[in-house]
Amino acid sequence: MDVGKKTGGKSITIYDIAKEAGVSPATVSRVLTNSARVRPEKKQKIQELIEKYNFTPNAMARGLSDTHSRVIGIIAADVRNPFYSEVFVACELAARRLGYTVLLCNSLGEAGLERQQLEKLQEQRVDAVIQLGGRVDDLVSQLEYVELVNAMPERIPMVINGKLDGTQCYQVQINARKSMDLLIEHLIGLGHRDIALIGGRADVLSTFEKIQRYKQLLKQNQIPFRPELVQEAGHYNDAGAYAEMNRMLDAGIVPTAVIAINDFSAAGIARSLTEHGYRIPEDISLVSYDNTYIAEMLIPKLTSIDYDYGNLGRKLVETAIGALEGKEIPKLQMLEPTLVVRESSGPARAL
């Protein structure tokens, strides 16, 4: 019956169109790119044929002469994390509006993978690379990453959402200090003084900065710093934070408010608090970072730091494309976070 056989046949080309239309390939190309005027009758004829054969120009061939692909590569740590998927979708939207496509790779925190992805993107001749999280953020492996970046052809602009010294990377950062300011201000305003900070890894830059700022702010508010209230979890998932919160409570250390390093961690922390019989926010307040949909999903809904993903994605893409087009763009751009107050934070329990 010969069903499903590769109906083979090379795909059709502008030569085929040209021949049937009785013109030269160049003319077809002109119609395709709208790069020069073509006599209306021919133009029409050609367009009909394109329609008829469902012809699509070969991006490979195009890219070969164009020198650029109109594709932006994005390396994300893991799109399963809503933070990254939000940013990714925002990037995709912004890119599309500017006529670009995005190509996504997940580095999954694997050592070799990031390098491999970068090479792959280079092969694909992406016009720019946006790096979302991963080793860039890691204070330990940053040096290694710097090397990677510096080995990239200078013609490919790289944009990261973070901080990285020693390279020509464009950096679109979110003001980590400011975000901690917002949370602490909010909590202190509610009368909290025993504020825990849980989750994440201190060797990730943004987390490190938050911890630093946390200490500073306590001092500014004449609150003694209690190291036992700050627990990194080694991870950014709920299980890690859950374990840390348990450990803290079981040790008899009971804060009146907890800052979770992200929404995932908040989920773990909420579980631990609940299991220990504490109500949120009546007994203990809980606030977090990232304001992903998780924040709205938990009970109670989380008070959380918002980054405006749409804006972040746009900035990343515009920076990449701007650089690409030779525009003068600041190497460092800082975005300001905001605080979204929901149900999980309330007045400190009376002493």
Partner DNA sequence: CTCTTTCCTGAAACCGCTTTCCTCCCCCCT
Partner DNA sequence: AGGGGGGAGGAAAGCGGTTTCAGGAAAGAG
Query: Which residues here bind DNA, judged by CB under 7 A?
Result: 10-11, 13-15, 22-30, 32-33, 35-39, 42, 55, 57-58, 60-62, 64-67
- Residue 115 in the binding site for a copy of itself (CB under 8 A): no
Q: Which is nearer to a copy of itself, 24 or 101 (CB)?
A: 101
Would you say 236 and 270 are in contact if contact means Cβ atoms under 8 Å apart? no
CA distance 80 to 105: 12
Shortest Cβ 97–a copy of itself spacing (Å) = 12
CA distance 108 to 245: 26
The tokens for 25 are: 């390939």
CA distance 284 to 302: 13
Shortest Cβ 27–DNA spacing (Å) = 4
- Residue 340 in the binding site for a copy of itself (CB under 8 A): no
244 binds, among a copy of itself, DNA, none (CB under 5 to 8 A by kind): none
Applying CB under 8 A, the span of 55-63, 189-197, 209-217, 245-253 interacting with a copy of itself comes to 55-63
Exposure b/e, 143-167, CB count within 10 A at least 16 = b: eebbebbeebeeebbbbbbbbbeeb
Shortest Cβ 2–a copy of itself spacing (Å) = 12
CA distance 75 to 169: 14
The Cα-based distances of 300 to 70, 252, 289, 294 in angstroms read: 44, 24, 15, 11
Applying CB under 8 A, the span of 127-135, 196-204, 211-219, 321-329 interacting with a copy of itself comes to 321-329
CA distance 81 to 78: 6
- Residue 82 in the binding site for a copy of itself (CB under 8 A): yes
Q: Which amino acid is at 317?
A: V
CA distance 187 to 238: 22
Q: Which residues bind a copy of itself (CB under 8 A)?
A: 4, 6-11, 54, 56-64, 67, 69, 78-80, 82, 85-86, 88-89, 92, 101-106, 108, 119-120, 122-125, 151, 153-155, 168, 238, 264, 267-268, 270-271, 274, 293-294, 296-299, 323, 326, 328, 331
